[in-house]
Homo-oligomer: A and B are copies of this chain.
Amino acid sequence: MTQTFAVRMVVDLPPDMDPDARTELLGREKAYAQGWMRSGQWKSIWRCAGEYANLSIFEVEGNAQLHEILSGLPLFPYMTMQVTPLCKHPSDIN
């Protein structure tokens, strides 16, 4: 049985970061994130319109795996996280 979480991630990169370092960092971020999407734990990701932020849905083994995934993000040192544990809603028809 997996556990569902919503995570809102806000990114705050220094504007004067070296462009090459930034490109390399964002490339690693994308590859890392897509790895967890392909293996099925990172179910959804949306851009929050107008912000350098995303809302994501995770289905993981539990709290420890959620932390493993999020703390391993190359952008983790630049992010503020808001984590909400979710479960089935009685009105859900799925």
Residue numbers of A with Cβ under 8 A of B are: 1, 3-7, 13, 15, 29-30, 33-34, 37-38, 44-52, 54-55, 61-64, 66-67, 70-71, 76-78, 81, 83-94
Contact = CB atoms under 8 A, between A and B. Distances in A.
A1 B67 CA distance: 16
B49 A63 contact: yes
B50 A91 contact: no
A46 B86 contact: yes
Contact of A50 (B81, B93, B94): B81
Contact of A62 (B3, B13, B38, B67): B3
Which 7 residue pairs of A and B lie closest in terms of their CB atoms, listed nearest first?
Answer: A46-B86, A15-B77, A64-B87, A49-B63, A49-B85, A50-B70, A50-B83
Nearest to A69: B50
A42 to B, nearest CB: 9
